[in-house]
Amino acid sequence: MDSETRARIGSAAGWFVQQAMELGLTWDEAVAAFGLAAKAAAHAAASTGDNANEDCVAIGRQRLEEAFESDVRVVMSIADPEHGSEDTQDNPLLAIAQRRNAGRLH
């Protein structure tokens, strides 16, 4: 896998984790959701006619297992909850956005 592909995959994984956090999913719920997404992607690939459905699912399982063997670094930064609190008193949408962005994945 080249560095560009690795970067794109890392970006997608980071996006997925951020979405799971914003939705309030637990880690095991997030893993289950990712497994469902992976299986749906395998079925979508099979529907293009390139491979049989069973082949796509088997390849997907193998890729998931390989991914679990990879080293991962996660860096979290927590936004200052007091930052901008005066601005949000008159703007509930801004308050919601700041709460959602309180934890960021880097």
List, for the chain, all residue ranges whose pLDDT scores fall below the cut of 70: 50-51, 76-106
Crossing angle of the two packed helices 27-47 and 53-68, in degrees rounded to 10: 140
Domain positions in the chain are 75-106
Residue 58, helix vs strand vs coil: helix
Residues 25-35 have pLDDT tens digits of: 898 999 999 98
pLDDT at 29: 92
Q: Sort 87 into a burial class: Cβ within 10 Å, 0-12 / 13-18 / 19+.
A: exposed
Tokens of 78: 């927590």
